[in-house]
Chain A
């Protein structure tokens, strides 16, 4: 019985039906007057009871999105954001016991809304940036890379090195100035108008100590780090970038990635 009840509850959510009602009783005049000697179910009726739980579940998921995406809330207002958050929550179940992990597909969901590209073309990208900030905040800290060991490798071994990016590291790009939009949406930021013509953003997000940082990158470094995120070796990543940017400064780029603390380890691929 327990298994059946829980399965039906879950199925109802996916199919938007109310089969679960058959398991719960409720008040209501009819039942109360026909029950003798004492009514078994008084108080909330079944439909009301089920509705309270459904509303509470969806509202809880939606509320968690307002915590993960505070800039998005600011950009369109709580009321409009809640409409989107409710729609997401109704369609994207949570698979983790922790709400900290919810809302990972929110940006993709926003992109799937046809009117979004016309009305708020930058909005899904801002959401993608906020998710990286959120995830970086809770990620484990990386350790320092052992550069001595790296420098001892032969050049041929070095070319087969795959860098491990720090656990909080993430990349996002947009044709809109999403970093600037994010900055002016922070509490205490000056009132500033952001022009959408400011240009594209290529960003890395990572946590340094307790602070989540958003770093602007060149298009070529963005591509290079993206290739490293995929697990490509140094030589593979390099040739991929040189295909598009033949003036790519490899030495300076690696140095920058190290200085910023993007890289925390490496292994040599066989």
Chain B
């Protein structure tokens, strides 16, 4: 028997299919401790001074491993890096010990104004150099390699010098960071810009991809919209199967942010992914 003086978070590995931690599920998770291998936590929601949210997170963290996913880093912005934001992220990392931290390959702010939307960058060498420099600074502050996620895309810059998959791969290489590959975003962008999503996946370096996202889109007729409010759609499941064969059984997250269903419905969706990942 061993007795430790101070309780410490379990450093379990992130494996299998996790779900996003949302406040409407706190009570149910704390009470019933459902069999979920890990949670993805939106870091921005916990960059607060105090209050119950941090207590809930702490209590859930005691029972589950987590990864942290952010939307406010704005690595693609030309505004100065928000050091207050990074400081808070570092504090969260130290307090909650996520297995890793991720954000998006995009810009969410300009001229000190936050749009809170994942705006795409032009696929140029200038963007690669800019993002790589900023990611390296972020990684220095956090003391670890981060994951950058591909965003869904609805517009094409005239200045583009390469494809999106080349851009993502080049950024990861230049910044020496990892990739969170959102399979739904690949599909949505491929539909909106008429490219082959399988070709996209084929061109991404295997060694950089550490996590997948799966989510539902809305069919708006002319285009697909990454709404995070629906079940994962059949073509995205197909693409996911292909991704698993290419990249392996990478930890996968079911993302659902709007019209959030019950925990058991989310678990049904997660089980579908588990069947593919462990096939």
A-B contacts counted at CB < 8 A amount to 140
Asked if B251 is at the interface of the complex by the 8 Å CB criterion, the answer is no
A94 touches B154 (CB 8 A): no
Task: Give the complex CA separation of A46 and B156 in angstroms.
Answer: 8
Most buried by B among A61, A94, A98: A98
Task: Tell which of B44, B78, B225 touches A2, judged by Cβ atoms closer than 8 Å.
Answer: B78
A140 touches B155 (CB 8 A): no
Asked if A269 is at the interface of the complex by the 8 Å CB criterion, the answer is no
On chain A, the residues within 8 Å of B108 by CB distance are 97
A24 touches B121 (CB 8 A): no
On chain B, the residues within 8 Å of A26 by CB distance are 155-156
Chain B: how many interface residues by the 8 Å CB criterion?
Answer: 50
Asked if A77 is at the interface of the complex by the 8 Å CB criterion, the answer is no
B156 touches A139 (CB 8 A): no
Map CB proximity to A onto B157-183 as digits: 1 under 8 Å, 0 otherwise: 111000000000000000000000000
Asked if B77 is at the interface of the complex by the 8 Å CB criterion, the answer is yes
Task: Give the complex CA separation of A98 and B53 in angstroms.
Answer: 15
Chain A: how many interface residues by the 8 Å CB criterion?
Answer: 47
Task: Give the complex CA separation of A57 and B114 in angstroms.
Answer: 10
Task: Give the complex CA separation of A268 and B184 in angstroms.
Answer: 59
Task: Tell which of A57, A93, A167 touches B49, judged by Cβ atoms closer than 8 Å.
Answer: A167
Q: Using A57-B117, A95-B113 as known contacts, say yes or no to A210 and B55 having CB atoms under 8 A apart.
A: yes
Asked if A117 is at the interface of the complex by the 8 Å CB criterion, the answer is no
On chain A, the residues within 8 Å of B78 by CB distance are 2-3, 6
A23 touches B159 (CB 8 A): yes
Closest CB-CB distance, A121 to chain B, in whole Å? Answer: 32
Map CB proximity to A onto B117-160 as digits: 1 under 8 Å, 0 otherwise: 10101101011001000000000000000000000001111110
Interface residues, chain B, with chain A CB atoms under 8 Å away: 44-45, 47-53, 55, 72-74, 76-79, 82, 85, 107-117, 119, 121-122, 124, 126-127, 130, 154-159, 191-194, 222-223, 225
Interface residues, chain A, with chain B CB atoms under 8 Å away: 1-3, 5-7, 9-11, 13, 23-26, 41-44, 46, 48-50, 52-53, 56-57, 60-61, 64, 93-100, 102, 137-141, 167-168, 207, 210
